[in-house]
Amino acid sequence: MTDWLALIYPYAKAFHVMAVISWMAGLFYLPRLFVYHAERGQTPEPAGSFVVMEDKLLRLIMNPAMIATWVSGLFLVLTPGIVDWSMAWPWTKAACVLGMTWFHMWCARQRRLLQARQGHSGRRYRIMNEVPTLLMVGIVVSVIVKF
Ligand code: HEM
């Protein structure tokens, strides 16, 4: 099992980076849509198009990309010699990845609240838009610097 993982390791890592890029694109863009939805989606017509864009982005891109990131990431974790758990970086990366997954769930909840016209203000979504940026810094520094 682990020999096979070592063999596919470069491909698993390439797939992981592609999945991460797709997931992050959605995590950066969806809260931005929420800002516009909260500030300009008062009339039924624009509100309807925001709902469609948010639904499609979450269901067709972000959910599959999150699953692909997790599956490929776990393949990498199980590959022998890749993760040294006595170092700090796997733990900081894991903490930030859990934070990113929480943020994904938070976005999914906000999408439902905005559809029910119970969302937060545009300003709140602008602030929350910084969360994935901070977590991304933590993840990339962990996995590249490997402290
Ligand atoms: C979802 C759970 C995740 C797991 C279990 C996971 C695990 C891993 C592991 C074990 C590696 C291999 C490190 C190495 O080859 O030395 C890796 C590489 C990488 N991960 Fe993740 N990861 C996850 C999510 C993410 C996320 C959310 C990002 C970005 C925001 C990310 C960015 C990267 C990058 C850029 C690399 C390549 C680093 C290199 O050049 O070696 N990962 N990941």
pLDDT tens track, the chain, 147 positions: 678 999 999 999 999 999 999 999 999 999 999 999 999 877 767 778 999 999 999 999 999 999 999 999 999 999 999 999 999 999 999 999 999 999 999 999 999 999 999 999 999 999 999 999 999 999 999 999 999
ipTM of predicted complex = 0.91
Within 6 A (CB) of ligand 1 lie 13, 16-17, 20, 24, 69-70, 73-74, 76-77, 82-83, 97, 100, 136, 139-140, 143-144
**Based on the structure, what is the number of domains in the chain?**
1
Enumerate the known binding-site residues for heme: 16, 93
* Cβ density class 60-98: b for 16+ within 10 Å, e for less: ebbeebbebbeebbebbeebeeeeeeeeebbebbbebbe
Helix (H/G/I), strand (E/B), else coil: 23: helix
Residue 141: domain span: 2-145
What is the distance, to the nearest Å, from the Cα of residue 4 to the centroid of all Cα atoms in its chain? 28
pTM for the predicted model, two decimal places: 0.94
